[in-house]
Chains A and B, each alone.
Chain A
Amino acid sequence: MRKPLLTHEIGSLAKPNWRVKALRNLPLTDQDLEEARAWARRLDLEQDAEELFALLEKREGFTREEKRTLVAWASRFAVRLLEKAGLDVVYDGEQHRVEMYEYPIRRIQGFEFRGHVRSFDNKYYRKAAVVEKPSVTQPYHLEEYQTIARYATRPVKIPITGAYTLVDWSFDEYYLQRTPIGTAEGLRLRKEARRTFLRDVAREVIYPNLKALVEAGADFLQIDEPAATTHPDEVPDFVQATIDSVGDLKGRVTFGMHICFSDYSLLMPHLRELEGVIHEMHFEYANRDSREPGVSPEVRVGYTKTLNLLKDTRFIVGLGVLDVHTNFIEPVELIRDRILYALDVIQDPERIYVAPDCGLRTRTWDVAFAKLRNMVEAVEQVKAKQGL
């Protein structure tokens, strides 16, 4: 997709209370129902949503089919929210998914959950182990795409968790079997096992999913790889896994990649092997930037180093301009200056897509909407200023 300063979001949005509670079999309150009506009004969906309101009146005991209907409505609300904010490309903020690890792992053959492990403090996540060669019998984002495409009035982007992140966040009880520990041979076999695991997830899981989406008409796919820099010496393997994941789909649609909260310099120079495979390389910037307006490197401290890594590449720069970890609503002027600064470095407005740093799921819809509206307004101001 070539459009100067194209705007999109990165993935997740918060899920409405009525969707969360209904799926968890918790009773809905008057406040939950009012929330649904209020957002329907704001999103001009009030008339269409009568079916939803009638269903929500049931309050509890939703059937499986009714839950699917509620998910579809949450999806439609989220898509409309992004359209109302004025984004060029939209998604549904993961309304169909639990989150980015457990959701795909449950749908891939060859994994079993082993239990909770600690991430930090009292935060935990359920971790799975690969127990046989992974495969997919049914592409797991296809229905989501088809649902969204039915009611989206703007181009749709579908994010998918990448092979490297799925592998890195999982245990290996299959490829490492019988690998001796503490010997030179064992150490060599460990590396080999890891590469085979990665290759299989890329080719047998991610590629078929991407292929199904491309064949269904999706034309913008985003591969999420938050774990990309976790093991610096494995960056070449991460790059190869991405090449394997895209395979012969290269060039057929727009591929984006999202990595965040990392030391991006660790990706270089290997990342450049993805030029021509991945079009947009989206990183987080606003999180490490100042809140002062201005277009000098001294003020735009969150942007200089990372933009310099990308400026001489062929990647479209996915520019994070909204900090997703704060309710601070970035003023239009601040976002405008972040874009202007990036333009000054990159020099080509078609090589910049504008987006939040990451998914906005930790913000309320009110905050997310306000941030995104300002982002779109800032892009309009930049375009006007630059005569684009």
Chain B
Amino acid sequence: MDVFVSLNGMYSRGEALIQATRDFDRNRITQEELERAYETDYRALQTLQEGAALVSDGLLNWQDLVRPFAELTGAQPGPLTRYFETNTFYRRLEFPQSLIWGKIAPWAERYFRFGTMAFLPSPYTFTRMAEGLSLEGAAALLREVVGHLLTRGYHTFSFQEPFAVYEGNEQALRAMASAFTALRDAAPQARFILTFYFGDAAPLLPAAWDLPVDAVGVDLTFTDVAQLDVPQGRGLMLGIVDTTNSLLETPEVVREALAIVRSKNPAFLILSGSADFFFLPRDVADAKYRFLREIANR
């Protein structure tokens, strides 16, 4: 069985980048200086992931999971909304009546700096984080983005789906069938992952496996791995380090879950964070990622 390691969604900014973003907001540094701070942090993230097959830029310049799409489509960022049961917030996007978008390439250059693995909002979560966006619209937009990223060498796409699992909403998964079919048509060879976090994935798995995805991501701070059924030929993305808590995992605390998962014979395994890493300070996030690399190599 192939075992990979990946980031999950938005990664923590380093302390120097944090200071630079604050300084930029207060007009204390220029756009160029801010960009240099980003570049330094991107390089650090590349170094951290050196040798990994699944590499991401950590979405360091994303404000939240949907905001970059405002720039692409002209949608307006709305009021701050609590991001699930966390002390973080996002802005719901308000889409105009007709969905149009600008040129993908320059936009994607800004928001997908490097990597082989892209994180995108899953169609249902996208509609829940926006007003006036249909599942079909979300799928059409994502299809364009996926199509472009394929040309740049991305081969693995994680569609982040916290809403359906938080709501325990199996119907939402059924409703995404045509959206995922459209996405799959655009990228028949790509690896698709439907990534759940902030809820117990087990009850939703039967519906999730009906979608044309290669793997499902599960948040092990909510999910008992013993309850997971994995059909032949499908993989799992295991959120096996808690990205909402700074306590560093040890081999002992992950041993039992890993043993159970291996006994289910998934086609491949991706070891990752339980949710986005940005809930952690950078040093802690880096330590958790290194731990994933360690256990993947055992």
Which A residues between 156 and 192 are near B, CB-CB below 8 angstroms?
168-169, 171-173, 176-184, 186-187, 190
Give chain A nearest CB distance to B60 CB in angstroms.
10
Name the B residues within 8 Å of A227 (CB-CB). Answer: 87
Q: Contacts A127-B281, A176-B247 known; A181 to B221 CB distance under 8 Å?
A: yes
- Inter-chain CA distance A186–B64, complex, in Å, is 30
Main secondary structure of the interface of B (DSSP, over half): mixed
User: Given A114, A168, A172, A186, which contacts B284 in the complex, CB threshold below 8 Å?
Assistant: A114
Q: Are B21 and A122 in contact (CB under 8 A)?
A: yes
Name which residue of chain A comes closest to B252, CB basis.
A178
Give chain A nearest CB distance to B225 CB in angstroms.
5
Mask of A260-277 contacts with B, CB within 8 angstroms, 1/0: 000000000000000000
Q: Contacts A114-B284, A173-B247 known; A179 to B253 CB distance under 8 Å?
A: yes
Q: Are B279 and A117 in contact (CB under 8 A)?
A: yes
Interface size grouping (class) on chain B:
35 or more
- Choose among B221, B261, B283 the residue with the greatest number of A CB atoms under 10 Å from its CB: B221
Q: Are A172 and B254 in contact (CB under 8 A)?
A: no
Name which residue of chain A comes closest to B276, CB basis.
A118
Mask of B236-266 contacts with A, CB within 8 angstroms, 1/0: 0010111001110110111111001100000
Name the B residues within 8 Å of A3 (CB-CB). Answer: none
Name the A residues within 8 Å of B260 (CB-CB). Answer: 182-183
Q: Contacts A180-B257, A183-B224 known; A118 to B284 CB distance under 8 Å?
A: no
User: Given A122, A178, A182, which contacts B22 in the complex, CB threshold below 8 Å?
Assistant: A122
Mask of B214-242 contacts with A, CB within 8 angstroms, 1/0: 00000011111110000000000010111
Q: Are A181 and B254 in contact (CB under 8 A)?
A: yes
Which A residues between 311 and 358 are near B, CB-CB below 8 angstroms?
none
Q: B85 near A: Cβ within 8 Å? A: yes
Interface size grouping (class) on chain A:
20 to 34
Q: B293 near A: Cβ within 8 Å? A: no
Name the B residues within 8 Å of A181 (CB-CB). Answer: 220-221, 240-242, 249, 253-254, 257
5 pairs of residues in contact across A and B, judged by CB atoms under 8 Å: A115-B281, A116-B281, A125-B87, A171-B245, A180-B253
Binding site for A on B (CB under 8 A): 12-13, 15, 18, 21-22, 24-25, 63-64, 80, 82, 85-91, 220-226, 238, 240-242, 245-247, 249-250, 252-257, 260-261, 278-284
Binding site for B on A (CB under 8 A): 114-122, 124-125, 127, 129, 168-169, 171-173, 176-184, 186-187, 190, 227, 230-232
The 9 nearest A-B residue pairs measured at CB: A115-B281, A182-B257, A182-B220, A171-B246, A120-B89, A122-B21, A173-B247, A182-B225, A184-B224
